[in-house]
């Protein structure tokens, strides 16, 4: 039985690559994962705002929010 590609929930790319050796943007380019849900955990609103303002994070977040809306979901969780 064939199974789909995995979903991953890593830290932001720079942190993941440096600290966990997880180059998930490369995995995307290779088609190895179906979904990447970046985990942006921060202990204060200013740090969260900074993380969300990063171009790659912001673009990905906007795509995920649009997809949730398209699917008729009532909301999403954003937490820090």
Dihedral sign for Cα 26, 32, 34, 40, please. negative
**Whole-model pTM over 0.85:** no
Segment 31-44 mean pLDDT: 81
Confidence of residue 80 (pLDDT cuts 50, 70, 90): very low
- Give the residue extent of every domain in the chain: 7-70
Stretch (H or E) spanning 36: strand 35-36
Q: Which pLDDT value is given to residue 19?
A: 93
């Amino acid at each position: 039985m064939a199974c789909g590609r995995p979903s991953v929930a890593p830290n932001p790319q720079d942190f993941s690559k440096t600290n966990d050796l997880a180059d998930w943007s490369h995995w995307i380019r290779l088609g190895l994962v179906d979904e990447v849900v970046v985990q942006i955990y921060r202990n204060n609103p200013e740090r969260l705002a900074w993380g969300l303002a990063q171009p790659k994070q912001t673009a990905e977040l906007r795509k995920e929010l649009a997809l949730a809306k398209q699917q008729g979901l009532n909301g999403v969780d954003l937490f820090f």
